[in-house]
A and B are shown apart, each in its own frame.
Chain A
Amino acid sequence: GQNIDQPTEMTATEGAIVQINCTYQTSGFNGLFWYQQHAGEAPTFLSYNVLDGLEEKGRFSSFLSRSKGYSYLLLKELQMKDSASYLCAVITGANNLFFGTGTRLTVIP
């Protein structure tokens, strides 16, 4: 079966750095995606990792270790608008995304 684990909720302070972890066990792996979803809105793409290592895009970075079935999303210089759910998703042998339940991040002043 497929399984993706993420913390349910996290809280962090404006201007700080936060790391959201994701562990996965899937039958097949073609890549791992991170999406941001504000309440009542559609998910929007943040990053994807295929190979081990760190991918950096501005304030957001994502790391992957395929041997450990582990990824994290790093958000730097947190802003209030970063309050949202962050979804970890794996592309398996098929083309569909298998999503975790998401981590709800609250940024406080």
Chain B
Amino acid sequence: GAGVSQTPSNKVTEKGKYVELRCDPISGHTALYWYRQSLGQGPEFLIYFQGTGAADDSGLPNDRFFAVRPEGSVSTLKIQRTERGDSAVYLCASSVAGSSLDEQFFGPGTRLTVL
């Protein structure tokens, strides 16, 4: 079956603009995670959804970042007033039920470049 997919694969934008990044999790997975990975670093947790609700958004760096998952499947990460420091690869992952030991399956990521 299909894995986690993310669109776009690459996004270049200008400082101050608004961007939306999309994640399609594996069908039937109730848990969805967003991470951010800078060059040479490990992924950094942003937010975790269980179903439609954000169960943990403690990793969002500030209020410019927001994510939704209105129907419990596709999720969108929204970044307002982008800054150059937001440039990174944004990874989405999903797992079956959100148990802490469920394997998280990662998507290929969206590479965001803020000029």
Contact = CB atoms under 8 A, between A and B. Distances in A.
Interface of A: 4, 30-31, 41-45, 48, 50, 87, 89, 91, 94-102
Contact of A31 (B4, B98, B100): B100
Given A42-B107, A50-B101, A91-B101, A96 B45 contact: yes
A99 B56 contact: no
A43 B106 contact: yes
A30 B42 CA distance: 19
A41 B9 CA distance: 11
A97 B31 contact: no
B56 A95 contact: yes
B3 to A, nearest CB: 9
> Could you say which interface size class chain B belongs to?
20 to 34
Nearest to B55: A95
B72 interface: no
Contacts, number: 60
A101 B42 CA distance: 4
B109 interface: yes
B45 A101 contact: no
Contacts of B105: 45
A60 to B, nearest CB: 15
Contacts of B35: 97, 99
> Which of B98, B100, B105, B109 has the largest count of A CB atoms less than 10 A from its CB?
B100
Interface in B64-97: 91
Given A42-B109, A94-B56, A101 B41 contact: yes
B106 A98 contact: no
B103 A45 contact: yes
A94 B48 contact: yes
A91 B100 contact: yes
